[in-house]
Chain A
């Protein structure tokens, strides 16, 4: 399970966290990823200056907005999710 965190602090909220969460929720459902990722909200992540703060696992993604949310999901979020879930499993789950 990989955590996707979206900041809902004051600054990110004003930039449109609500729309990003809504878009991500829809895309996770559309891609059938409910069993692989957990979408979470977080208060201030301390990166207010660079757009709506999102992190996947421990990896930050910057400059997310409600306009590019879908694009970011496919070009940045999804690759990290795939890498983390394939990289994290072998030790304990393979075979």
Chain B
């Protein structure tokens, strides 16, 4: 039997060296067919120079490995490409490579970064590492199978040195970080929340003035779950049936946004559309129910509100992350919850028919705006680590 396909829910964030505009750490994610690749690179020094080194390193490794090159080739390419630092006479950037297949196979190659932390069932699992000589660099390689709900955490040495020479003589130190991770690792914690908790501690230890670029990256293995969202009536009526069939035969969660759109789905499937009369929130139109569909909402206004919620989540600082709860019952909150928490991938079926009602000067929403709304929504979703695709009709 084929194993459950996995989705890698990944997030990273960085704190810049105090006074620098650019970060000397760089994380590169690539989502490919059947694999997820993450590269964390930490360039020598800080500021522009470090940023260039880290960007080149992470980009070259990620691109080459995603195209099927081996680790030796990728490392040799970096060694001969990186500019040599005029002060120190060396070209140097550390890196950690994590490649996870959607069946849970994990390959890790680490060079001079703090060792990756691997958590399974709330406990830390030791990883067997073997040493590999790659063009004179000592790279540690490990291979293992990870399972659903396992979490992989990477961080740069700025995290290890947090507070050095000021609050703490020796900095935060690796063992203490691991302990902190273990204490914060509650079941169901989102990768971004863990990342923010760690960085918020780092920032406190540095007393808001980080002495080194600090980056944390967390990856959680989740069962793959797709949400298909039909929004807007197709341009030509003949397409109605095929788009609705595409929605109704899709795996995972099904969502319909838009009044006219939900009436089309009701007509094609022959199921009754029941619009709720209860306003959970007077600012958001009520939802409806339709057999076989997980959520039916009004269109543009609900989507606009959903974007606001997501933007709030993406833009708030770590201090407020805990306070945003998705426990309301209005259409926008329910939509956000399905897209953000219940699914790992979102597929939009976007109809481009013009709604005559929206051509009315009293209506602040035009068709162009509607298509832009979907684009904005998918951008915000991508920021939270979802993979998003859009199909137009």
Contacts and interface: CB of A to CB of B under 8 A. Distances in A.
A49 interface: yes
Contacts of B362: 11, 14-15
A6 to B, nearest CB: 8
Contact of A9 (B276, B282, B357): B357
A11 B264 CA distance: 18
A14 B363 contact: yes
Interface of B: 259-260, 262-263, 273, 275-277, 279, 282, 285-286, 288, 298-301, 355-358, 360, 362-365
B363 A8 contact: no
Given A48-B357, A49-B360, 8 more contacts: A8-B285, A9-B259, A11-B362, A14-B362, A40-B275, A43-B273, A43-B275, A43-B288
Interface in A1-54: 8-11, 13-15, 17-18, 21, 39-44, 48-49
Contacts of B299: 10
B356 A44 contact: no
Most B-side CB within 10 Å, residue of A13, A42, A49:
A13
Contacts of B260: 9, 43-44
A49 B288 contact: no
Interface of A: 8-11, 13-15, 17-18, 21, 39-44, 48-49
B282 A10 contact: no
A37 to B, nearest CB: 13
A21 B357 contact: no
Contacts of A39: 277
Contact of B365 (A8, A10, A17, A49): A10
26 contacts: A8-B275, A8-B286, A9-B357, A10-B259, A10-B300, A10-B301, A10-B357, A10-B365, A11-B360, A11-B362, A13-B301, A14-B301, A15-B362, A17-B285, A40-B275, A40-B277, A41-B276, A43-B259, A43-B263, A43-B275, A43-B298, A44-B260, A48-B360, A49-B356, A49-B357, A49-B360
A87 B298 CA distance: 35
Contacts of B259: 8-10, 43-44
A46 B294 CA distance: 25
A21 B197 CA distance: 45
Contact of A10 (B263, B279, B285, B286): B285
A17 B276 CA distance: 13
B163 to A, nearest CB: 53
Nearest to B298: A10
